[in-house]
Amino acid sequence: MCPHRSGGISEMSLADRLAALLMKPAADREKQNIVWNMIGSFCYAFASMVLSFLVMRIAGDDDGGIFAFGYSTFGQQMFLVAYFGLRPFQITDGKGEYRFGDYLLHRCLTCALAVAAGAGYLLLGGYTVRKALIIFLLVCYKVIDGFADVYESEFQRQGHLHLTGKSNAFRTILSVTVFLTALLAGRQLVFACGAAVAAQAAGVWLFDVSVIRRLPSVDTGRDWSRLRPLTGAAALLFVSVFLDFYIFSAAKYAIDANMDNAASGYFNIIFMPTSVINLAAGFVIRPVLTYLTDAWTGRDFAAFRRLLRRISALIAVLGIAAAALAWFAGRPVLGIMERLLGDGYAGSLVRYHVPFVMVVLGGVFYAILNLYYYVLVILRRQDVIFGIYVVMTAAAAVAAPAMVRRGGIGGAAFAYLMLMAVMAAGFTGGALNRVRAGERADSRGIMKNEWHGDGDRDL
């Protein structure tokens, strides 16, 4: 799975021409980077939000549910195995501690691990052959996406963020177009997923592999002895991200295990607002992280607390507004989505109005916990983060299935709300406690390593 520097000139001529076009310089490189990164991120996020809805519209609620679970839940979990949390480390490796070839070799191995883990889970999961095949193809699709990330991270490390955005945009457009065309033409989800995998692989070849060969500063040499330290550098981050996504998706796993396929599709639709909330929270949180970091490392505790209170209040106000909107406008919005799905779906979503509101509230709590997660990263308290994840993973594994068995989709929504609220409380309490401890230590003149501790997390 490590295609590099192979193939004749004739078979690469088209790819070379496309690569030259993609790399065409702009007068304002910084603007080019920002614009294309935004376009790529939007295409990826939009496709992730609407694909399951479109599959349900075209192929029915049963296939829509299978696709929703395979694409946005289990496939994404396996993407995280392939990704291994290395992007922040790679894009900040400005001194070249590791070569691109080292990162590529590591990614080949994690991608193989992800495919094997996905296949093992499906073999032991008691699925029908058809459902297992669909989900496995979606795992492959997501793993190829994770493989592309090592190239896109290198583009960013080399100062070509616009290439990352272009790859994200054009790969997504290509694979989604092929997938929907195949699904509309044959109404066969297995065939459409297979076509999407082929298109995703072609996209990586066209927009990543062929392009990176034209960057002269990229070192493709690799050293097997570098695998161990590279894995160790990202291991804790990988486990944390993996557990975080499991907790976030525990209700979806419980629905897949205890309800029919259609239930996964319906829950995925009422879950869609969480993507919008997360995106909005990112716009609020990320711009202030540098200021929070500077205030903390500069021991300006008053400024740190003041800024933290402002951002917390802003998220709370926006969250209350989102919950109110979901309560008052949720039923009409769900009704509109029913009409978009087709005549056979009348009444299928409106009845989940209360679960819809609970999911929105859960998304607000997730935005809050994200803020205080980053505060703990700034404080270099990864031990607190990891401890919360371990406890909450155990709680999610017990609570989510029990609530789904008891309350169906409503129980799943309540499980998500409860897990997000408890985890938000844990991160908030842990962060504020460490802030107070840091202030007390500073007042006594005791400077701990936590002030300038190591950490590779990209803020």
Quote the CA–CA distance of 203 and 201 in Å, as a whole number.
5
78 within 8 A of 142, measured Cβ to Cβ: yes
Confidence of residue 456 (pLDDT cuts 50, 70, 90): very low
Quote the CA–CA distance of 4 and 14 in Å, as a whole number.
16
Residue 217 — φ and ψ, nearest 5°? -90, 0
* More confident of the two residues 342 and 5: 342
* More confident of the two residues 165 and 457: 165
Which residue in the block uniquely carries the two structure tokens 């371990």?
390
Average pLDDT rounded to a whole number, residues 181-200: 96
pTM over 0.85: yes
Quote the CA–CA distance of 59 and 345 in Å, as a whole number.
13
Mean pLDDT score of the chain: 88
Quote the CA–CA distance of 202 and 6 in Å, as a whole number.
15
* Burial of residue 78 (number of CB atoms within 10 Å: 0-12, 13-18, 19+): buried
Any residues with CB less than 8 A from the CB of 229 and at least 6 apart, and which? none
Q: Output the six-digit token pair for 318.
A: 């926006």
Any residues with CB less than 8 A from the CB of 149 and at least 6 apart, and which? 82, 83, 87, 107
369 within 8 A of 420, measured Cβ to Cβ: yes
Quote the CA–CA distance of 85 and 231 in Å, as a whole number.
10
Count other Cβ atoms within 10 Å, centred on residue 94: 8
Confidence of residue 458 (pLDDT cuts 50, 70, 90): very low
pLDDT at 457 over 60: no
Compute the C-alpha angle 385/387/390, nearest 5°: 110
Compute the C-alpha angle 144/420/259, nearest 5°: 65
Instruction: Report the pLDDT value the prediction gives residue 455, as an integer from 0 to 100.
Output: 38
